Structures are given as structure tokens and as C-alpha cells.
Amino acid sequence: MTKEYKNYINGKWVASSSGEIFENTNPANCNEVLGRFQKSNKKDVDKAVAAAHKAKKMWRDTPAPKRGEIMYKVAELLVKNKEALAQDMTKEMGKVIAETRGDVQEAIDLTYFAAGEGRRLVGETVPSELKNKFAMSVRMPLGVVACITPWNFPIAIPSWKLIPALICGNTAVIKPAEDTPLTVVNFMNIFEKAGLPSGVVNMVTGYGPDAGAPLVEHEKVDMVSFTGSTQTGAGIASTCAQRMKQYSLEMGGKNAIIIMDDANLDLALEGVMFGGFGTTGQRCTACSRVVIHKKVAKKFTDMLVERAKKLKLGNGLDEKVDMGPLINDKAREKVHRYVEIGKKEGAKLLTGGNYANGKALKNGWFYQPTVFAGVETKMRIAQEEIFGPVVSVLACNGFEEAVDIVNDSTYGLSSAIYTQDVNRAFKAIEMLETGLTYVNASTIGAEIQLPFGGTKGTGNGHREVGIAALETFSEWKSVFIDYSGKMQKAQIDHD
Ligand SMILES: NC(=O)C1=CN([C@@H]2O[C@H](COP(=O)(O)OP(=O)(O)OC[C@H]3O[C@@H](n4cnc5c(N)ncnc54)[C@H](OP(=O)(O)O)[C@@H]3O)[C@@H](O)[C@H]2O)C=CC1
Ligand SMILES: O=C(O)CCC(=O)C(=O)O
């Protein structure tokens, strides 16, 4: 009998009032059911938000270093359970075990990093313009934070939201993606074992419109932190704007690697393979465009096609597998639709371009690693996010043109340049309109001690992780303390 998992509300595991469940299957073998989860609705959301609201004062009054101590325990439990968490994640999400270990490691790194902020949460002290008066700023929590998360980083992204939010003194309700609830259930178990007080973190599983939308709309939710598609993010932005809630959005990308004619092509090839086919191309930072100097375009494209053909597809639990399946059938259909669009637009399909149906793959959502050449910047495959293992090669005449091609996008998440010319590398850092830029490294693989997020249609200006996350999950209070014992008037007594 497949195990049933409950919602986590006010420190208790409870069934949804809908009485309905949904199943979670392994994308490498869709006959394998991993668990049965609560199909939550507005009533469950109301209970979860009520619990978070009730815990707000207690948690805000808990000294931040103490909040940090609990987060250190969370980090230790993540370390202790790393392998089990990674195995469950590969089963429910499909990416290869080395990458799911990396996903857990990112949560560990972030949790240690943010736990330390419990002893800092640095504000400013500045001189007052008046005598015997003290002026400073302090960070205040926002209140109840709603976290809506995607399936591609099932624990890293929830940790990026929950841990900084909690360190800042907020309480939270998370609605994980319907494709990866098990990993977030596992995360809740860790919070419980770490001794986080009841109500500080709550989880409702279920579908976006049934559970996500009422959470975003809830009047007692003060801030929404969302990662996912641009379409869903735009809807959340408009709901929050109408209700005067704060919100942070991390959405899509159409990331590119520039390869100049002086680049180390072997190194660049590793970068494109990792960025284009790592996580089966399902990272918002995935490299889906290669913008390459025409002098080396043919040579590099041949190298890329040869390597792409050699990738071993399969169940990500097998350490020898290079690339797992796509997340679900809809995702595979979407990727294939884009391949057909690319062909119709006149791009040259060099390898892949179809479902991967070998014997060991027939029950999973596998897609062949795909490379297009002759791609032009106006083509839809060069503009729209495919979120699959499809790399488009665009040839250019030089550096300036390469930068223009990369910037010709409504998104602005990640970019990279391979070159031996340090001056050109610095110029690229300046000119590329993305939140992240890599030099002689791929578009993926961000580190949590620096801000993560994008420009243009990728986000709304907020950043996750690093110290920047504190800006997202707190607000400033400016404090003036007058110890002169007399009435002093700022501005007026200035002279
Ligand atoms: N910039 C970044 O940092 C990142 C961006 N992404 C982007 O995420 C996308 C892939 O993730 P995907 O999960 O498909 O994105 P979706 O936008 O479909 O889903 C994201 C989350 O939103 C929920 N949701 C769906 N509809 C609503 C709604 N009406 N109200 C509230 N919540 C809702 C989903 O629930 P349900 O699962 O039930 O649909 C899920 O939990 C890609 O476009 C990718 O680029 C991914 C990772 C990082
Ligand atoms: O590649 C990275 O560094 C992080 C990627 C990420 O968060 C994502 O793609 O969703």
C-alpha cells in the first residue's frame, strides 16, 4: 500500500478537509507511485495561515540568535539525511543523483549561511543632526510569508525562501509543486525534529489553483515569495498588487553562453554540456542558446553534437546515467512542440529532436538531447523558454554582435562568456543584461553566498540567497532616540 502523507499545520500532520488525495509518480518510471498526498483547498489554507498568524508574535519575539540556533539544527539534520533526501528527490523529480545531492547541499549551505545571520541582521547606526540623540535602523519581519515553489529544485528553492524568512522573524506557509511534494514533506520532518515551535512553518500540498491561489489571496498573508513560470508569476503579481502585499518573483530565463574565437573550446564544451543538458535542461539558468564566433562555430558544433549523442539517459539513481527524464508528460510534449517549431522556422536539427524510447526508457518521460544550428535570434526557439534538453547554436561575427544577441531577450537571468581576453571578459560583465554572469564557466551552478535572481522579465527586482535575501524578507524601521531630556526639533533646530 502506497504511503499517504499529510499536511503539516501548527506542528501536526493533518488530513485535508477535501478528503481527496493525489499521487506522485517517478518520471523515470511512471508506473511507480511514490506517495499519496493531500489535495488541499481554501479551508486547509485558512488553517495553515491561521497557525502562522498565531505564531507570529511568539516567533518575532524569539531573539534572532536563538532562531539561528534552531536553523543550525536544521542544517545538521539536512547533513545527516542528505543521501536519503537525495534518493527520494531523484525518484520524484528525475534528475540524476549527483545533482539531487547537490540540491540538498545547496539547502545545507544556505541554512548554515542564513543561520549565522541570526547573530548579525545588520542595520545602520548614523549620527543624528542633533545633540544627545541616537539614530539607527533595524530590520523588522514582514509577518506571514507564503512560499510557492517549483519542482526543479525541490529542496534548494524551498530552503532559499523558508530559512531567510524565518531568520528575519517571519512565519511561513509553503505550497510545494504538485510534482515534488515528498521532498518538502521530508523538509517539514526536519523542521519538526529540529524543534521549530508549532505554527512557525506550515505546509499544504495540492494544486496551484486550489491551494496556491487562496494562499496568495489570503488577507493574513503579508508577503508572497514565488518561483516558477512567468505566466503564474504575472498572475501572482497582479493579485498581490491589488491587495497591497509585498511579493518577490523568480521566473524564467533564456540564458546564453558566448564563445569567442579565442576560447578554450574543450572547456566551453564542458560548460555547454553542463548548462544545456544538466538537470535535463530544466533549470531557469539552463544554457539554451550558444552564441559563437563564426570562425569556430562549425568546429564547436561538431564537438557538441558528438558529445550530446553519447549522453547516457536513464533512471537517475544509476550513478552511470548522465541525464534523467523530463518532469512529466506535459513537459515532454511542450519540449517536442518547440522542436517542431524550430524545424518549421528553418533551424537545422543536428541531433535528437524526439522522445527517447529505448527499452529501459519506455515508461519514463525521456527526451533526446537536442542540438539546433543555424538558429536566428528572432526565432521562437531563440526567444521562448523551452525548459528541456534543447540547445540552439547562433553564429555571430564578433563580440558586440554576440552581446546584442544575448541581450535580445525578454528574460535576464544568467549569461556566460568563454574567452582568454580579460578586457573582453570585463566588458561582457558590464554589458550583459542578466542578474548572473559567468566567465569561463557555465550559466548554471550559482553559490548561495551571492544574490540570485534576474533582470527584465525574470523577476521583479528582488534577489534570493546571500545577504540580499534579508532585504526580501524584512523591512526597515528607522529609530531615533532622544536622550537630551528636552524638546528638540529635527530640521527646525538644525541651525
Ligand atoms: N528564476 C528562478 O529562480 C527559477 C525559475 N523557475 C521557473 O519555473 C518554471 C517551472 O516551474 P513550474 O513548477 O512549472 O512553474 P509553475 O508556475 O507552473 O508552478 C510554480 C508553482 O506555482 C504553483 N501555481 C500554479 N498555479 C498557481 C496559481 N494560480 N496560484 C498560485 N500558485 C500557483 C504551482 O503549483 P502546481 O505545481 O500545482 O502547478 C507550483 O507550486 C520555469 O519557467 C522556470 O524557469 C524555476 C526555478 C528557478
Ligand atoms: O543553476 C543554478 O545555480 C541555480 C538554478 C536554479 O535555481 C534553477 O534553475 O531553478
Residue 354, pLDDT above cutoff 80: yes
For residue 135, the model assigns a pLDDT of: 98
Distance 215 CA to ligand 2 centre (A): 25
Q: Please choose from 24, 210, 229, 279 the residue to mutate so as to test ligand 1's pocket, defined by most ligand atoms within 8 A of CB.
A: 229
7-251+459-479 matches 255-439 in fold: no
Average pLDDT of every residue of the chain: 97
Residue 7, pLDDT above cutoff 90: yes
Distance 393 CA to ligand 1 centre (A): 27
Q: Please choose from 89, 99, 105, 153 the residue to mutate so as to test ligand 2's pocket, defined by most ligand atoms within 8 A of CB.
A: 153
Atom 34 of ligand 1: nearest residue by CA position: 208
Q: Which atom of ligand 2 is nearest to the CA of 283?
A: 9
For residue 415, the model assigns a pLDDT of: 98
Pick the ligand that lies closest to the CA of residue 177: 1
Phi-psi region of 376 (alpha: psi -120 to 50; beta: other; left: phi over 0): beta
Atom 27 of ligand 1: nearest residue by CA position: 208
For residue 495, the model assigns a pLDDT of: 67
Q: Which atom of ligand 2 is nearest to the CA of 156?
A: 7
Distance 162 CA to ligand 1 centre (A): 16
The tens digit of pLDDT for each residue in 10-26 reads 999 999 999 999 999 99
Q: Please choose from 230, 251, 452 the residue to mutate so as to test ligand 2's pocket, defined by most ligand atoms within 8 A of CB.
A: 452
Contact 107 CB / ligand 2 (< 6 Å): no
Contact 386 CB / ligand 2 (< 6 Å): no
Q: Which fold has domain 255-439?
A: Aldehyde Dehydrogenase; Chain A, domain 2 (3.40.309)
pLDDT confidence band for 359 (50 / 70 / 90): confident
**Cα dihedral sign, 421-427-430-432:** negative
- Is the whole-model pTM more than 0.95? yes
Distance 301 CA to ligand 2 centre (A): 25
Rounded alpha-carbon distances, angstroms, from residue 452 to 1, 30, 39, 397, 469:
41, 33, 31, 31, 9
Contact 446 CB / ligand 2 (< 6 Å): yes
Mean pLDDT of 126-141: 97
Distance 16 CA to ligand 2 centre (A): 32
For residue 122, the model assigns a pLDDT of: 96
Atom 37 of ligand 1: nearest residue by CA position: 177
Strand partners, 437: 415
Mean pLDDT of 27-35: 97
CA atoms within 13 A on the CB side of 76: 9
* % the chain with pLDDT above 90: 98
Q: Is the ipTM, as predicted for this complex, more than 0.90?
A: yes
Distance 153 CA to ligand 2 centre (A): 7
Atom 1 of ligand 2: nearest residue by CA position: 444
Task: Identify the burial level of 387 via C-beta atoms within 10 angstroms of its C-beta, where 0-12 means exposed, 13-18 middle and 19 or more buried.
Answer: buried
Amino acid letter at 464? E
For residue 368, the model assigns a pLDDT of: 98
Would you please indicate which residues are annotated as catalytic (active-site) residues?
A: 250
pLDDT confidence band for 179 (50 / 70 / 90): very high
The tens digit of pLDDT for each residue in 244-269 reads 999 999 999 999 999 999 999 999 99
Task: Write down the H helix ranges in 289-421.
Answer: 294-310, 329-345, 380-383, 399-407
Q: Which atom of ligand 1 is nearest to the CA of 252?
A: 45
For residue 358, the model assigns a pLDDT of: 83
Contact 102 CB / ligand 2 (< 6 Å): no
Distance 364 CA to ligand 2 centre (A): 23
Contact 95 CB / ligand 2 (< 6 Å): no
Distance 63 CA to ligand 2 centre (A): 32
Q: Residues 6 or more apart from 234 whose CB is under 8 A from it? A: none
Domain boundary assignment for the chain: 7-251+459-479, 255-439
For residue 357, the model assigns a pLDDT of: 84
Mean pLDDT of 206-223: 98
Contact 445 CB / ligand 2 (< 6 Å): yes
The tens digit of pLDDT for each residue in 373-394 reads 999 999 999 999 999 999 999 9
Domain at 7-251+459-479: CATH architecture: 3-Layer(aba) Sandwich (3.40)
Binding-site residues, ligand 1, Cβ < 6 A:
148-152, 175, 177-178, 207-209, 212-213, 216, 227-229, 232, 235-236, 250-253, 284, 385, 387, 413, 458
Amino acid letter at 307? R
For residue 494, the model assigns a pLDDT of: 76
Residue 315 near residue 100 (C-beta atoms within 8 A): no
Mean pLDDT of 184-194: 98
Q: Which atom of ligand 1 is nearest to the CA of 153?
A: 47
Q: Indicate the Cα dihedral angle 448, 450, 454, 460, nearest 10°.
A: 90
Distance 101 CA to ligand 2 centre (A): 14
Residue 448 near residue 464 (C-beta atoms within 8 A): no
Of 293, 87, 294, 62, the closest CA to residue 198 belongs to 62
Atom 9 of ligand 2: nearest residue by CA position: 283
Residue 493, pLDDT above cutoff 90: no
